[in-house]
Structure 1
Amino acid sequence: MARLRGWPAWVAVWALVVLTATGCSASGGHDDSRRALPTYGTYDINALPSGDLRSGGTLTLPITQMITQFNFNDVDGALDDVWTVDTMTEPRLFTRDAEGVPRIVPDYLVSATVTTEPRQVVTYRLNPKARWSDGRALSWRDFAAQWHAVGGDDERYPVADPSGYDRIADVRQGADAHEVEVTFRQPYADWRRLFTPLFPAVAYDSPRHFDADWQGRLPVTAGPFRLASVDRTAGTLTLVPYAAWWGTRPRLDRIVFRVLDPDAALQAFLNGEVDVVNAATSEAYAQLKNAKDTAVRIGSAWDEVHITLNGAGGPLADPAVRNALQQAVDRPALAEVAAEGLPVKVPLLGNHFFMTNQPGYADNSGRYGRFDLKAAALALDRAGWHSQGGGRPRAKDGRSLTLRLVLSEGTNRLGEDLAQLVQQMLDKVGVRIDIEKVPASAYGPKYLDKGDFDLAIFRFTGLTYPSSAYAIYRRPAGGQVFENYGRVGSARVDELLGRAVGTLDERAAERLYNAADAEIWRLGHDIELYQRPQILAVRKGLANYGVPGLGDIDFARVGWQK
């Protein structure tokens, strides 16, 4: 699962890394022959013009779970797989290139211009050919409905992330029916991330429509593909070209998404049943690097692995305890084990907003990112959690320092090994970790969203717009936790991020994000681990698909070579 792409995205732990329970030391076994992580903007998609592709064919892709909520802006729909389907079936005004730079999609937009005085105003000129599947033309009403639903003023809408939308003052028609004017009450630097996907007003104009209309279906679409079928028994979603599509017709006849756990997906690929599979684990890479009819594609993306700490109650409500856990986890050891058997290195992350090979990156972890068991033990002593000896957990006021690390039942052996390594590391400072497995379908909505955990290990991916991480670190408001599942925040972080997202000067914004990042480390919001490499095995002959760097896949261009 995954909360995604520059627009927050989380991925469940089972998709992470190969680990062995004995790999707790970063010393020894280091393979210096591994290449460094690909540089900023590196991509590998076998890019080919449409003339080199045959017309027709099927692409079968594995997904992590059956989609039940198809509205990406809904708190239960903000998943990587939902993002993929929505950007194939709903309007995306901008797409990102390999370096994460947004580009206009001319199928929907003729132009988008911005003025900043006296207030920031974005004027969108819509493609007159762009129409919803119910026959209506795209209009300012769709923009206005999305702003009202996602902007955060009405808590009846269960939104995942209002950032950016909450800075809009007004949406209205421009010079004619094909022009939209969006006026901001506060500047917003990443305005291009808004309204992508754009959703139809008729399915967004009330809290009931926003939530119920998208459960198990796509009520209205306007993309190159449409949803043809949902087979919950077989665990498949099938998309086919949209007959009324006004743009370049997709090369493929159909795209099938098939629900498979990681081990099953690997075997399905080797058996020729799916066309793509993750190869970013030592076990998978070993089986795939020389597999028949297989191409391994490697690139650089925004992809991080971390441990979220729940500060809403219990021992982790104390920042000193959270800081102690940060220092008790051997991050270099985990990164080294994650890299075992892979052709690229896995670097530690010292930043929550920028990847190590991305402009703006600075290591702000300080002492909170250094493995130091003595400092961790001392911090727990000072916080009143005293050793009981005999391998027992520390205690305070008659309560033991026992925490729950919640895992999805979809977690395979590799993800379980990661959790067990963390369990062993924390045991050394007297913190007992109970690993609890929960149903995969409930992991997000009933555990992460509800805060029913102490520790949780997962990924955020695709956050190339730094403002899209705002929802992860801002303080919850009212009944909304946004993407801040651990409920850890501060007025200082909110103030710095509020200034950063509204700073139009890129270098000045980077300085503000880095100042906020240092505060996030100090708060003990989480234990940031490492930057995950992108290694994908695909069927030979598949074109315009693979690792797109910091960009997006255009599924209308994906196809099979002649």
Structure 2
Amino acid sequence: MTAVLAGCTSSGGVHPDGGTPTKAVEYGTQDINSRPLNQLRQGGTFTLATPQWATQYNFNQTDGALDQVAQIDSLVEPVLFRLDAKGVPHANPDYLASAAVTSTAPQTVTYHLNPKARWSDGKPLSAADFAAQWRALGTGDERFHIADPSGYDRIKDVRQGADAHEVKVVFRTPYADWQRLFTPLFPAPAIATPERFNRGWINRIPISAGPFKIASMDRTAQTVTAVPDPRWWGTPPRLDKVIFRTLLPDAAQQAFLNGEIDAVNAATAEDYAKLKDAKDSEIRTGSSWDDVHVSLNGAGGPLADIDVRHAVQRAVNREALAKVAAEGLPIGVPLLGNHIFMTNQPGYVDHSSPWGTYDLKEARRILDRAGWKSRGAGEPRVKDGKELRLRFVLSTATNRLGLDLAQLIQQMLAQAGIAVDITKVPANDYAAKYLFQGNFDMVMFRFTGLTYPSSTVSIYQQPKGEQAFLNYGRVSDAKLDGLLKKAAGTLDRTRATELYNQADAEIWRLGHDVELYQRPQVIAVRKGLANYGVPGLGDLDLAKVGWERRSSGG
């Protein structure tokens, strides 16, 4: 998923009292106030803030690849597998009686669907839904504007099995992370044509099959309200209502302090200081797959030159950014040396040297060799009469720390003779008009929840025609593309990890981005809120979220 949000913390965590840096939380640590449903009261409202108003609610469509869209879709569409706190997938019995690899030559996955599972139009879930999703995402039809074909592009056939509740998915080449496919599953009638796939989910969710349904999408108030779906065949949700309010970070924090929303980010020193002692609240912390980086646009402008990208990498002092960002937080925030595995995740190897190592002199030498001539301190370099000037695009939803980090990067690059113009754009335009369109030289944002290693493939694969997938800066090459696809198809976990690490070394060499840090999960939540917070490597199930009987929340 993509969370279009600039830097929220950084590495080199410093203890709140100014002492030694604290260690990163163990990978997969969960802090959700886990409670059985019988300990929760029936009813209540849960209100969350989102930083921008989404208009595309098909998560698989390019413009829909946003964290808040994933949250909303998970309420109302089939989630076939859920990840536990350690990142292990488990079939969701509300939709699947079973799912398993039933043949290896070729790899075939057989799904047995829960016969009770039905779409809001009354039709049961079926092979037709699986087939429509595969055709949209995996057959290379460029009329479907897709965010991520990974895994779907390896499927040879999807067909009905022994009966209407059995689905067989046959792969052309093996795919290790097959459980990540078809989650969420979308209804065939709403995605079967390019028009329906691209346009049919704008400001609406046409068909659903989840514990909740959408009650309203108020574009004026910029709120989405979900309520329990009376047609739901599974365990009824405890909540009466889930509300998503579009609020910029400062407004969200104030809304939390005023008791208007029930959870808010506290992963900056400034926010943590304001929220840690807030009335009727508590801090929940943990570790997840959460990567903050500065993406570099290699499709045009000065950064199309790999030497300029390398100079940017070498001129950014990641450690200095870390000290600014991590001070005052209760948990450690490590630098990232890998794009695929987090620092405390099995398989992590630091490949940041030399590209992620700060060396201003080397940055200047690289630019000299590339023909960018210095005009002295404080002046941008020039080549062929053009100044070396980059446009760093930020959303108005960027928090104070994100702006501070951007300004520090601006100052660092100026010392190498690279001018940076920071441009703020409206939060609701940032994703669709800038990030997704490659309309930037530099952007800072996060990828979150990519626990399956193959989830990262579309971030670094070679674009195809107008399709950039999630590789917004369009930096890749055939070697990287091949390594990633080979890794995704390698069923031996040890060998796959080796291949992913070879790919990571190539990502660094290509100057795809300036990798920054593994963002910690630090959130303030209303006291008494159960089964919500930091899920480790797992998924939050909002159908199980509720208020403890003794709480006054909601």
TM-score under structure 2 length normalisation:
0.97
2:169 matched to which residue of 1?
182
2:414 matched to which residue of 1?
427
Question: Pick from 499, 503, 513: which aligns with 2:500?
Answer: 513
Paired residues of 1:407 and 1:443 also in contact (CA < 8 A): yes
Alignment deviations for residues 468-518 of structure 1 (CA, whole Å, 9 cap, x no partner)? 110010110111000111111011001111110000011110000000000
Paired residues of 1:46 and 1:543 also in contact (CA < 8 A): yes
State the Cα distance separating 1:409 from its structure 2 match.
2.3
State the Cα distance separating 1:369 from its structure 2 match.
1.1
What SS is found at the alignment partner of 1:284? helix
User: What is the alpha-carbon distance in structure 2 between the residues aligned to residue 299 and residue 413 of structure 1?
Assistant: 22
2:221 matched to which residue of 1?
234
Stretches of structure 2 lacking an aligned partner (at least 5 in a row): 550-554
Query: What does 1:367-382 correspond to in 2, within 5 Å?
Result: 367-382=354-369
Q: Provide closer, same or farther for how the CA distance between residues 405 and 296 of structure 1 changes in structure 2, counting only shifts above 3 A.
A: same
What SS is found at the alignment partner of 2:354? helix
1:81 matched to which residue of 2?
68
What SS is found at the alignment partner of 1:76? helix
Alignment deviations for residues 126-153 of structure 1 (CA, whole Å, 9 cap, x no partner)? 0000000110000000000000011142
Q: Provide closer, same or farther for how the CA distance between residues 176 and 26 of structure 1 changes in structure 2, counting only shifts above 3 A.
A: closer
Residue 289, structure 1, aligned to residue 289, structure 2: no
Residue 560, structure 1, aligned to residue 534, structure 2: no
Report the residue type matching 1:495 in the other structure. Answer: G
User: What is the alpha-carbon distance in structure 2 between the residues aligned to residue 96 and residue 390 of structure 1?
Assistant: 52
State the Cα distance separating 1:326 from its structure 2 match.
0.5
Report the residue type matching 1:284 in the other structure. Answer: D
1:333 matched to which residue of 2?
320
Alignment deviations for residues 251-290 of structure 1 (CA, whole Å, 9 cap, x no partner)? 0000111111000010100110000000101111001111
User: What is the alpha-carbon distance in structure 1 between the residues aligned to residue 133 and residue 222 of structure 2?
Assistant: 30
User: What is the alpha-carbon distance in structure 2 between the residues aligned to residue 225 and residue 330 of structure 1?
Assistant: 46
Query: What does 1:40-51 correspond to in 2, within 5 Å?
Result: 40-51=27-38
2:8 matched to which residue of 1?
16
CA RMSD of aligned residues (A): 1.7
What SS is found at the alignment partner of 1:369? coil
Residue 524, structure 1, aligned to residue 511, structure 2: yes
State the Cα distance separating 1:213 from its structure 2 match.
1.5
State the Cα distance separating 1:175 from its structure 2 match.
0.6
Report the residue type matching 1:11 in the other structure. Answer: V
What SS is found at the alignment partner of 2:106? coil
User: What is the alpha-carbon distance in structure 1 between the residues aligned to residue 388 and residue 251 of structure 2?
Assistant: 37
2:477 matched to which residue of 1?
490
Query: What does 1:462-481 correspond to in 2, within 5 Å?
Result: 462-481=449-468
Paired residues of 1:486 and 1:525 also in contact (CA < 8 A): yes
Q: Provide closer, same or farther for how the CA distance between residues 544 and 498 of structure 1 changes in structure 2, counting only shifts above 3 A.
A: same
What SS is found at the alignment partner of 1:435? strand
User: What is the alpha-carbon distance in structure 1 between the residues aligned to residue 201 and residue 346 of structure 2?
Assistant: 37
Question: Pick from 223, 236, 240: which aligns with 1:249?
Answer: 236
Alignment deviations for residues 193-239 of structure 1 (CA, whole Å, 9 cap, x no partner)? 00000000010110111122111111000000000011122221110
User: What is the alpha-carbon distance in structure 1 between the residues aligned to residue 44 and residue 426 of structure 2?
Assistant: 35
User: What is the alpha-carbon distance in structure 2 between the residues aligned to residue 183 and residue 27 of structure 1?
Assistant: 50
State the Cα distance separating 1:33 from its structure 2 match.
4.5
User: What is the alpha-carbon distance in structure 2 between the residues aligned to residue 371 and residue 170 of structure 1?
Assistant: 49
Alignment deviations for residues 515-552 of structure 1 (CA, whole Å, 9 cap, x no partner)? 00001101101110111100010000000000000110
1:396 matched to which residue of 2?
383
Q: Provide closer, same or farther for how the CA distance between residues 502 and 33 of structure 1 changes in structure 2, counting only shifts above 3 A.
A: same
2:117 matched to which residue of 1?
130
What SS is found at the alignment partner of 1:415? helix
User: What is the alpha-carbon distance in structure 1 between the residues aligned to residue 186 and residue 174 of structure 2?
Assistant: 23
Q: Identity of paired residues, percent? A: 62
State the Cα distance separating 1:16 from its structure 2 match.
1.9
1:546 matched to which residue of 2?
533
Paired residues of 1:93 and 1:105 also in contact (CA < 8 A): yes
Alignment deviations for residues 53-99 of structure 1 (CA, whole Å, 9 cap, x no partner)? 10100011111122211100010111000000101100010000111
Paired residues of 1:30 and 1:336 also in contact (CA < 8 A): no
Question: Pick from 422, 425, 441: which aligns with 1:438?
Answer: 425
Report the residue type matching 2:230 in the other structure. Answer: A
TM-score under structure 1 length normalisation:
0.95
Alignment deviations for residues 386-417 of structure 1 (CA, whole Å, 9 cap, x no partner)? 11114211111211111111111222433211
Alignment deviations for residues 329-375 of structure 1 (CA, whole Å, 9 cap, x no partner)? 00011122111110112111000000001011000111101111111
Q: Provide closer, same or farther for how the CA distance between residues 178 and 365 of structure 1 changes in structure 2, counting only shifts above 3 A.
A: same
User: What is the alpha-carbon distance in structure 1 between the residues aligned to residue 184 and residue 16 of structure 2?
Assistant: 45
User: What is the alpha-carbon distance in structure 2 between the residues aligned to residue 306 and residue 125 of structure 1?
Assistant: 40
User: What is the alpha-carbon distance in structure 1 between the residues aligned to residue 419 and residue 42 of structure 2?
Assistant: 57
What SS is found at the alignment partner of 2:391? strand
Query: What does 1:194-205 correspond to in 2, within 5 Å?
Result: 194-205=181-192
Q: Which moved more, 1:107-116 or 1:540-549?
A: 107-116
Stretches of structure 1 lacking an aligned partner (at least 5 in a row): 20-24
Query: What does 1:148-159 correspond to in 2, within 5 Å?
Result: 148-159=135-146
1:224 matched to which residue of 2?
211
Question: Pick from 139, 142, 145: which aligns with 2:132?
Answer: 145
Report the residue type matching 1:60 in the other structure. Answer: T
Q: What is the number of equivalent residue pairs in this alignment?
A: 549
State the Cα distance separating 1:439 from its structure 2 match.
2.1
State the Cα distance separating 1:11 from its structure 2 match.
2.6
2:552 matched to which residue of 1?
none
1:22 matched to which residue of 2?
none
Paired residues of 1:387 and 1:393 also in contact (CA < 8 A): yes
Query: What does 1:220-369 correspond to in 2, within 5 Å?
Result: 220-369=207-356
State the Cα distance separating 1:29 from its structure 2 match.
10
Paired residues of 2:25 and 2:332 also in contact (CA < 8 A): no
Q: Which moved more, 1:119-128 or 1:28-37?
A: 28-37
Alignment deviations for residues 138-192 of structure 1 (CA, whole Å, 9 cap, x no partner)? 0000000000011142111111111110100000000100000000001000100
Report the residue type matching 1:207 in the other structure. Answer: P
Residue 67, structure 1, aligned to residue 67, structure 2: no
Report the residue type matching 2:439 in the other structure. Answer: D
Alignment deviations for residues 441-482 of structure 1 (CA, whole Å, 9 cap, x no partner)? 221122122211111111111110110110010110111000
